[in-house]
Structure 1
């Protein structure tokens, strides 16, 4: 949920539509999000949110709504995200981030550490606008140039 009055939040709801949890502020009452755009949950129930401020960031809180980290942080300046248009979490807890502006897919671990760019412009990525991982572990990517990218997603824990 986004509001220009600096009270953007993520709301977890039951299947009946009742509010179960509201995630909005850090402990210091500082806003977590400027413009939340996409949300996902990883295997340890962290809530992963794309904050669509420019440049885009990924904000992660634990299942209790407590702030864990922001990706990229100031020490990861070479891994900036120009425009994030999709996130997905795999079965190992890694987070995949599509960077539409820089034509690449980031892979970060569940603690926000950069692992690698798993796909880039050299692989045919152009304006990656969405991604998903199916139950077979296959990565699905919305590629803006209409070209199919043949690639199998496998996590390399030694990367």
Structure 2
């Protein structure tokens, strides 16, 4: 299981490698992503989650070779990184104090650092 906290104090948990469940600091359910039966964005295996300073939640999608971004209310924003950016079966995610996204790729045995422009988009 993978756990992180966002800027609102919400706890974000990866459940069963395919869903992200978010509860508030009192443990009350807020939302689940993807929302059951309502999303076309199924996760093909989530092994990492991180929250940035703007409140976005970043989710590694190992099976689909991408990092997706949702807002603090669980709405899909964008695919931040894909295979075109060198993402291949991403596992662990971390955002450092400079706002850089660290991504561990499974098969390549490498860690790639992406710099942000503080717009939620990494380059």
Find 1:108's aligned residue among 41, 46, 70. Answer: 70
Deviations 1:87-107 (A, max 9, x none): 001111110000111110010
Asked if structure 1 preserves the Cα contact closer than 8 Å seen for 2:101 and 2:113, the reply is no
Q: Assess if the C-alpha contact under 8 Å between 1:123 and 1:149 holds in 2.
A: no
Distance in 1 (CA, whole Å) between partners of 2:24 and 2:111 is 35
Partner of 1:24: none
Q: Are residues 107 and 154 of structure 1, via their aligned partners in 2, closer, same or farther at CA, if it must alter by over 3 Å?
A: farther
TM-superposed CA distance for 1:49, in Å, is 0.3
2:93 matched residue in structure 1: 131
More strand by share: 2
Q: How far apart, CA to CA, are the structure 1 residues paired with 2:67 and 2:49?
A: 9
Q: Which of residues 38, 46, 69 in structure 1 aligns to 2:10?
A: 46
Instruction: Report the equivalent of 1:6.
Output: none
1:156 CA displacement: 3.0
Q: Distance in 1 between matches of 2:34 and 2:91?
A: 19
User: For residues 122 and 45 of structure 1, do their structure 2 counterparts lie closer, same or farther at Cα, with a shift above 3 Å needed?
Assistant: same
Q: What SS class does the counterpart of residue 47 from structure 2 fall into?
A: strand
Alignment of 1:75-94 (within 5 A): 75-77=38-40, 79-94=41-56
| 1:100-136 CA distance string (max 9 Å, x none) | 1111001000000111011001111111010100000
Query: Shift of residue 83 of structure 1?
Result: 0.3
Quote the Cα distance in structure 1 between the aligned partners of 2:95 and 2:114.
12
Q: CA RMSD in A?
A: 1.6
Structure having the higher Rg:
1
Gap regions ≥5 residues in structure 2 = none
Higher RCO (CA 8 Å, separation ≥ 6 residues): 2
Q: What is the CA–CA distance in structure 2 between the aligned matches of 1:109 and 1:123, rounded to whole Å?
A: 22
